[in-house]
Amino acid sequence: MTKLDAQDVILESPLHYFSKISSHPVSSNQLFNGDLEFGVVAKEIRLGCQLNLRGDASDEHFVTGAESVLGIALPTVPGTYQYNSDTAVYWLGPNEWLITSATDALELEALLRSKFEGHIAIIDVSGGQTLVNLRGHGVLTLLKKASVYDFYSWSDAVPGAGRCVQTTFAKATAIVANRTDGSFDIIIRRSFSDYIAQWLLDAGQEYGCRIESC
């Protein structure tokens, strides 16, 4: 067998098999139908990478090092995330963050490691989870079906500083984050993504739910 060119390599995102699948109260047709209005649109977003970062938030060197590479500060307030146009950093715990970035995982990890010393950890989790944006008028109610978290409590959130939470999502888990356009992002584990997609189609059916994979 000859060596393969990179373009022959096939990627499948976690929601690959749900491309343009929908559920709708007025149509039993599970296939995408452009004429229907959807109250929930779940769009899987292709990212460069997702890295899990561990380190000591009280270590000045660590904090400034991260900011210099990412262009944004590590959020230290529980349940918040910081973002700019192509990077977001989610607070997961006192010494744990999730970075989503347009940059390639290896490249970003190397950049970060070059700024750090001492006890830190960087873990590439790009293959293990996916980010799905949920938009539409049915999303807030759908979140009430999914989670015991009170997302209404975010309505007083300061613009620019996002809110996020790791919580139960149906019978799986998700990181849920708000967006300034009123939509929500969920970051879900790959092995649960089929279940969550099926769940979204079911829970969103009364508003019409469409899934778009990346």
Report the residue number, 120 or 164, with the smaller CB distance to another protein. 120
| 3-state helix/strand/coil string of 67-105 | HHHHCCCCCCCCCEEEECCCEEEEEEECCEEEEEECCCH
CA atoms of 52 and 164, how far apart (whole Å)? 15
Report the residue number, 71 or 144, with the smaller CB distance to another protein. 144
Kindly state whether residue 157 participates in binding another protein, applying the rule CB under 8 A.
no
Kindly state whether residue 19 participates in binding another protein, applying the rule CB under 8 A.
no
Kindly state whether residue 156 participates in binding another protein, applying the rule CB under 8 A.
no
**Which residues between 100 and 139 bind another protein (CB under 8 A)?**
119-129
Give least dist CB 181 to another protein, A. 21
User: Which residues partner with 99 through β-bridges?
Assistant: 51, 89
Q: How many CB atoms lie within 10 A of CB 84?
A: 10
User: Which residues partner with 27 through β-bridges?
Assistant: 24
User: Residue numbers of the site for another protein (CB under 8 A)?
Assistant: 1, 3-6, 8-14, 17, 25, 52, 54, 95, 119-129, 141, 144-145, 147-150, 152-153, 170-172, 189-192, 194-195, 198-199, 202-203, 206
